[in-house]
Amino acid sequence: DIVMTQSPDSLAVSLGERATINCKASQSLLYSSNNKNYLAWYQQNPGQPPQLLIYWASTRESGVPDRFSGSGSETDFTLTISSLQAEDVAVYYCQQYYSTPITFGQGTRLEIK
């Protein structure tokens, strides 16, 4: 099984500042035949289901604000929120869909400082 490890577990950032969440996979998520990284990011607000933010490691889902960006390749990935807004307070999960069992990181709780 591919183990996904996020850091940090929780993060407090001031409004308007940058927030960075890291995700490390126990093996490469880069599929050589199509040169795509099978890595997604989700946002979960309290009492709500998760919502897709980023897929293929760096492609923003339709409707997601451009302050959210994803980067990285193979085993190391980053979700960046360029200028934190109050509505970004949530738990963020990375996920690998390279192979089954599909696995998620443990989540990172983002709060306002």
Binding site for other proteins (CB under 8 A): 38, 40, 42, 44, 49-52, 55-56, 61, 93, 95, 97, 100-107
User: In terms of DSSP bridges, do strands 39-44 and 90-96 run parallel, antiparallel, or are they unpaired?
Assistant: antiparallel
Least distance from other proteins to the Cβ atom of residue 94, Å: 10
Least distance from other proteins to the Cβ atom of residue 101, Å: 5
Considering beta carbons, is residue 11 or 56 the nearer one to other proteins? 56
**Which residues partner with 21 through β-bridges?**
79
**Which residues partner with 42 through β-bridges?**
52, 93
Tokens of 32: 């050589």
Considering beta carbons, is residue 16 or 101 the nearer one to other proteins? 101
Do residues 71 and 21 make contact, with C-beta atoms less than 8 angstroms apart? no
Considering beta carbons, is residue 17 or 111 the nearer one to other proteins? 111
Least distance from other proteins to the Cβ atom of residue 81, Å: 19
Least distance from other proteins to the Cβ atom of residue 83, Å: 25
Ramachandran area for residue 57 (φ above 0: left; ψ -120 to 50: alpha; else beta):
left
Considering beta carbons, is residue 35 or 100 the nearer one to other proteins? 100
Radius of gyration of the chain (CA): 13
